[in-house]
Amino acid sequence: MPSAAGGQPSAEALIARHDSLVGGRAAFDRLTSMRLTGTFGVPMVGLEAPLEIVKVRPNRFILRATLGPMGELLTGHDGTTAWSIQPGQGPRVLQGPEAAMMASQADFFADLHDLGQFASLTVLPTERFEGREVHPVRLVRRTGEVLTEYFDAVTGLSAGVRTSVEGPQGAMEVVAVLADYQRFGSLLLPTTRRQQTAMLETVLRISAVEFDRADAAATQPPESIRALIPPAP
């Protein structure tokens, strides 16, 4: 594996290893959609709810979690517009950094790395992340977004990402932890995804994945969102 200064693997080598392990571009190119099912949890309030995520190439996405008496949590991207419906907030069309974050989730190839999206890649000193020795890589997108991704020194797989996101309450550090990779068809996917902020931790657990059984209609936003989207000029 090519090395950076100090004997560590280069950023390009770390990224290439991860992308190859999860299946590589060829495996994703053979698919048109993914439907993931499992649970959505908020540990601090003891909540665990049914979860469905649908992704359709190239950039359509919907996440649906049924929160019992609290209602439904819905977020999505229809290929153009990012949106969200959360209990206590109602329907919102997302803008700015929130929309950019949703667009990155909607990217069908988000488990891979398009090096053309980044202005720079820098390997940082080896550290521990979630109890694992990792090679951190600082990635700066051409949009200016900065994130640090942690590659497991043993498995080569991404163990998570740390970034800062601008939201309604201002800048907020977000840490996504990826674990429990399992093989579904030709893909190796993390089945546990924890997202941590200073205020909240959520846990997504994936138990099943179906391929090529959804189309764009499955990611259509609800009427309450469509009513907020200005008509195309």
Distance CA(104)–CA(102), nearest Å, equals 5
Kindly indicate the confidence band of residue 233, based on its pLDDT and cuts at 50, 70 and 90. low
Residue pair 49/65 in contact (Cβ under 8 Å)? The answer is yes
Q: Cβ of 157: how many Cβ atoms within 10 Å?
A: 17
pLDDT range class, residue 166, cuts 50, 70, 90: low
pLDDT at 148 over 60: yes
211 close to 27: Cβ distance less than 8 angstroms: no
CB atoms near residue 102 (< 10 Å): 19
Percent share of the chain, pLDDT over 70: 94
pLDDT level of residue 218 (50, 70, 90 thresholds): very high
Structure tokens at 215: 């189309």
Statement: the pTM of the whole predicted model exceeds 0.85? yes
Per-residue pLDDT tens over the stretch 119-146: 999 999 999 999 999 999 999 999 888 9
Which of 188-226 are b and which e, b meaning 16 or more Cβ less than 10 Å from the residue's Cβ? bbbbebbebeeeeebbbebeebeeeebeeeebebeeebe
For 46, residues 6+ apart whose C-beta sits below 8 A from its C-beta are: none
Residues sharing a CB contact under 8 Å with residue 56, sequence separation 6 or more, in sequence order:
32, 33, 108, 214, 215, 216, 218, 219
Query: Terminal CA-to-CA distance of the chain, rounded, Å?
Result: 51
User: Which pLDDT tens digit goes with each residue over 176-205?
Assistant: 999 999 999 999 999 999 999 888 899 999
**pLDDT band at residue 172, thresholds of 50, 70 and 90?**
confident
Tell me the C-alpha distance between 165 and 213, whole Å: 33
Options 1.10.10.60, 3.40.50.720, 2.50.20.10, 1.20.1050.10; CATH of 116-206: 2.50.20.10
What integer best gives the mean pLDDT of the chain? 92
| Domain positions in the chain | 116-206
Q: CA of 109: how far to CAs of 34, 67, 103, 119, 173, in Å?
A: 11, 28, 11, 19, 24
CB 147 within 8 A of CB 98: no
